[in-house]
Amino acid sequence: MFIELTDHLRCPGPHAEAFLVLLPQDVQGRRVVSGHLGCPVCGWGIAWEDGTPDFGGSVAVQSVAPFDAAAAVAMLGLDGPGGWIATAGNTGSIAADLTLLLPGVHVVAVNPPEDVQSAGAVSVIRSGSWPIKQHAMRGVVVGDGAGNVEAAVRSVLPGLRACGSGAIPAGSEFTLLASGGDSWVVVHKP
């Protein structure tokens, strides 16, 4: 994972959202190949040595995204460099293509298909609970195997969009912008 992703991760423990402390061991460029993440609130922690932090409890998806990266970028309405996008579940299959269409944007792929690796501007995280803070991402792309869709969409910065397929996220904090076929676009209300 990229070292800057630490700022956007949250403890999976059952308490109010809390930041995590990174103790990097092997860092290549800005990528943490091995290290330790710990929570100062509850003492939860994990270590990894293969570039991919695993918070535990994740379920691997085998399918691929139901739409391509160009469609995701259009639905999210994104343009310009900087910041982060998250993919949730099988939409991780388009993570690398998203970084090609959006130079200077990092992608965190949460629970992508097994053949998706941390590489280039893509950081892979595996976790049974949604591992990213609220109001942290420029966009979230939700697919099969995303787990808690509402938690994923809450990671979008206020006023920005999430898109996906399957169940539309429910809650007064989301405004449905478009839906058709099996796909939807919502705005996270400011």
Task: Note the residues at the interface with Zn ion (CB under 5 A).
Answer: 11, 13, 39, 41-42, 44
2 vs 44 by CB, closer to Zn ion? 44
Beta bridge partners of 87: 109, 141
**Nearest distance, CB of residue 54 and Zn ion, angstroms:** 16
118 vs 127 by CB, closer to Zn ion? 127
Residues 81, 24: Cα–Cα separation, whole Å:
26
State how far the alpha carbon of 10 is from the alpha carbons of 136, 140, 170, in Å. 11, 16, 22
**Nearest distance, CB of residue 188 and Zn ion, angstroms:** 24
42 vs 70 by CB, closer to Zn ion? 42
**Nearest distance, CB of residue 11 and Zn ion, angstroms:** 3
State how far the alpha carbon of 118 is from the alpha carbons of 50, 57, 112, 137, in Å. 9, 19, 10, 18
**Nearest distance, CB of residue 5 and Zn ion, angstroms:** 17
Residue found under tokens 């570039």: 51
52 vs 129 by CB, closer to Zn ion? 129
**Nearest distance, CB of residue 10 and Zn ion, angstroms:** 8
11 vs 105 by CB, closer to Zn ion? 11
Residues 109, 97: Cα–Cα separation, whole Å:
12
Q: What angle do CA 137, 112, 176 make, to 5 degrees?
A: 45
